[in-house]
Amino acid sequence: MPYEYRKLTPEQREEIVAQRKAMGYPLHAPPHPFREAGHYMLTAANFEHARVMNSPERRTYFQKRLLTAFQEIESEVAGWAVLANHYHILTGVQSLDHVSAALKQLHGSTSFEWNQADGLRGKRKVWYKFADRMIRDDAHYYRALNYIHYNPVKHGYVEHASDWQWSSLSLYYEDHGRDWLLEKWRAFPPEADFGKGWDDFD
């Protein structure tokens, strides 16, 4: 994970920085190589996987703030899941730059509020930078959507995805029904390594 950089030897750090520089990536942040309009799956985690959103009230509050932030930049939200220490959102955007600005504001304001509420102002970093995946085609789109809805089960919060209220799954159930959801799952199950390396948030 990105913050494991601090645990590396000086030689290992130099090698990673050289590799990132050669590829044109920011030296110490997740790369965002695609900036054009399209659908993206975005992921952000609480720093060092701390469960800052462990309470139902905080997840409900953040879910509302997250959806409002994307509404304000006129981005279509296709799916989401908010967990205790990270979230995923599948969205159609006109520019990734608009998303970066919106998430910077959202993460900054919630960091301030939660640190103040928890008596940790100046003592805790709440968020790490977000990562993005540009959606390639319809199959990739539905695999990402299914992955998002299954995420609470993957991380052991619930046994059935329908039991997790902080996701868009219930809206798909209401709009399309159980049979449609099962059809999409059978046709487009996420590959075993779909989130490997950027969704290891247990």
pLDDT digits (tens, 9 = 90+) for 103-155: 999 999 999 999 999 999 999 999 998 898 899 999 999 999 999 999 999 99
Helices (H) and strands (E) in the chain, counts: 6, 4
Asked, for residue 193, whether it belongs to a domain, the answer is: no
Asked, for residue 164, whether it belongs to a domain, the answer is: yes
User: Domain holding 67: CATH number?
Assistant: 3.30.70.1290
- Regarding whether 21 and 44 lie in a shared domain, the answer is no
- Regarding whether 62 and 11 lie in a shared domain, the answer is no
C-alpha distance from residue 64 to each of 36, 40, 99, 161, 194 (Å): 26, 20, 16, 20, 27
- Regarding whether 53 and 27 lie in a shared domain, the answer is no
- Regarding whether 105 and 8 lie in a shared domain, the answer is no
Q: Is the pTM of this model over 0.85?
A: no
Strand order in the sheet with 38-45: 76-82, 86-93, 38-45, 131-134
pLDDT digits (tens, 9 = 90+) for 146-195: 999 999 999 999 999 999 999 999 999 999 999 999 999 999 998 767 77
Count of residues in the chain: 202
How many structural domains compose the chain? 2
Q: Cβ neighbours of residue 27 under 8 Å, at least 6 residues apart?
A: 17, 20, 21
- Regarding whether 144 and 172 lie in a shared domain, the answer is yes
Range of the domain at 142: 36-187
- Regarding whether 94 and 14 lie in a shared domain, the answer is no
